[in-house]
Structure 1
Amino acid sequence: MGHIKSFPTLESHYSRKDTTKLYLEENLNVTKMYKLYVQKCHNEWKVNPEKLSFYRSIFNGEFNLGFHQPKKDACKYCEWYKRLNPSDKVHHEEEYNAHQTRKVQAREHKENDKRQAQAQSSYKALTFDLEQVLTTPWSNVSSLFYSRKLSTYNLTVYELGNKEAQCYMWHEGEGGRGSSEISTCMFQYLSTLSGTEHVVLYSDTCGGQNRNAGFSAMCLHAVKTLPISIIDHKFMESGHSQMECDSVHAAIETARKKVPVYSPEGYYTLVRMARRNRPYKVIELGHSDFLDFKSFSQHTVRNRTKDTEGQTVHWQKIKWLRYTKQDPKGIQFKYSLSDQPFQMLQVGKQETRGAHAIGPKKMHTGPPGITAVKKKDLLTLCTNGSIPQSYVDFYQSLQVTQAE
């Protein structure tokens, strides 16, 4: 049991909010863990190892662990429905059919917006998503499995009209992966568009990253300060959020299997080379680039609970948000992607008393850093040769935040 506990774990990228299950690195499995356990028994502990069947029974019975897979989690609702007995299926049939209808609607909308983006230069349609955490160092050296690693993040923006992809990348010593970081990446992307009047965003339903007041504040700020007139944000159905940007992440995962990666800079280079034709564009971000849209939302989204009809707004059920230059103090929204009219949420003022538009402030005054225990593990890997000498200066330079 102690050996299994010695492996660092990660939260699920796609279902952090509704599961306590933790994940080990995707290049591990129970058989490989058992082989490492046998090596420990023979070389360090000087004891006879238990059998693989016993090790596996402990893993399955005492731990809520899985192995990190570079794919979307399966739709938990659909899997649950499939396991129901016939009478229970009848009871939940209406709800299940509505779920399937929303799935189809989202995919049809995305295809229609793709066609319009291909036909109209002032219209942009795109998908965006945060890739699963990329850890460094990355190789098959056995000592790495027991060590904490540095996380690198990649927010991918994929334009449906021309199939171009941009990857906004940074490591955890420079920033986290919350709503402000995601909003900063998307604002940077929107700021690069010229001649674009209407932008349609597609994303999954992750509330902590892109369906929240901070992201809405960014969109309001964008239509107010940029040439863009309309931003639509449409959400894929939960459990069925496969999008074109997933192909970028798959290409990165494939490229990573071929080479070891010892630093975030290695990932930046790997991503640039992951697609031979029309290489992905990488935008490297540091702590000074991130804007605090979460705090900014306190000034721009003062009302987020009642619409103009006095009805409670259920943010987690919203499927379509619209922001317009014509009304930069209001958010239109729908609970479905049907032709029903938009409802309206008046969020409040966006100006200071002097009538000057306020903007988001920088999120950090210096690098947020990593934990002391993580830096200790990384420097140990430098000392024992798991990380080549040429990378030592980078790991030594990482700032430390408060310990875990």
Structure 2
Amino acid sequence: MDFSQNLTLPSVSATPSQWYFLSLVNVYLFGIYYANKNIQYNYVYEESVAGKGTDEVNSMLFHFIQKIVVANGHQKLTIYADNCGGQNKNNFVVKMLLGLAQMGELETIDLKFFIKGHPKNAVDRGFGHIRKKFAREDVWTMDQLLEVVNAASSSALVHVPKENAVMKVFRTAVQEAYRHEERAELSDLWNGNRQSWCRVL
């Protein structure tokens, strides 16, 4: 799992330098490579929807685990991530995964980080195909960008619009849950009063 470099709208292949200093819209692309099926899930959303922080990583990872991993009956999950301290490698991601394991969603979760000097992740190949196609196309709207992402690879596209059920706030829940040592507290927060901490951004 990893973020791609930001894509910007509009993007014109013939005169890219003329657009550089204009006020462009950033579009974020987060990829999760599902090795069991050789499919990359690309989460695409505009900067007005959410940022690129811990809550966003947890939201998309949680969505993937619920909709793909658990839904397909898997009980073991291995995640490979780069060593980016602000996004993938932090306490909130680890605690969210720990919460899933403690509540019985998954039996085993292995979170592995690449050794420094080996930055290439499985999702980078998919990002390369997307960037190459994006550079050759004139892309003015989000719908056109989604078409480019879809056409660039044999991956699955997850568009996260402004009003969505994907982006949630996990930081408060994991802070509260792990402030105390009892497992029941996490379960209560997660299942009993979901809306208090899973608000849509």
The aligned residue for residue 264 of structure 1 is 142
SS at match of 1:265: helix
Deviations 1:87-123 (CA, angstroms, capped at 9, x unpaired): xxxxxxxxxxxxxxxxxxxxxxxxxxxxxxxxxxxxx
**Which position in structure 2 is the counterpart of 1:300?**
177
Q: Secondary structure at the match of 1:231?
A: strand
Gaps (5+ residues) in structure 2? none
Note the 1:214-363 alignment, pairs <5 A. Answer: 214-225=92-103, 227-275=105-153, 279-287=154-162, 288=164, 289-302=166-179, 348-352=181-185, 356-358=188-190, 359=194, 360-362=197-199
Between the aligned residues of both structures, percent identity stands at 21
Q: Give how far 1:264 is off.
A: 2.5
* Closer, same or farther: CA 237–363 of 1 in aligned 2, 3 Å: farther
- Paired with 2:50 and 2:100, the residues of 1 have a C-alpha distance of 22
Q: How many residues align?
A: 189
User: Which blocks of at least 5 consecutive residues in structure 1 are unaligned?
Assistant: 1-127, 303-346, 365-404
Which structure is larger by alpha-carbon Rg, 1 or 2? 1
Name the CA distance, whole Å, in 2 between partners of 1:285 and 1:155.
11
How far does the alpha carbon of each residue in 1:356-388 deviate from its partner, in whole angstroms, 9 at most, with x for none? Answer: 343442252xxxxxxxxxxxxxxxxxxxxxxxx
Superposed, which structure 2 residues align to 1:5-404 within 5 Å? 128-139=1-12, 140=15, 143-192=18-67, 193=69, 194-225=72-103, 227-275=105-153, 279-287=154-162, 288=164, 289-302=166-179, 348-352=181-185, 356-358=188-190, 359=194, 360-362=197-199, 364=201
| Structure 1 outlier segments of 4+, above 4 Å | none
Paired residue type of 2:9: T
What TM-score does the superposition give when structure 1 sets the normalisation length?
0.44
CA distance in structure 2 between the aligned counterparts of 1:351 and 1:215, rounded to whole angstroms: 19
Report the TM-score, using the length of structure 2 for normalisation.
0.84
- C-alpha displacement at 1:225, in angstroms? 4.7
* AA matched with 2:6: V
Displacement, 1:247? Answer: 0.5
Equivalent residue letter for 1:129 = D
With over 3 angstroms needed to count, the CA separation of the structure-2 counterparts of 1:141 and 1:274, relative to structure 1, is closer
Higher relative contact order (CA 8 A, sep 6+): 2
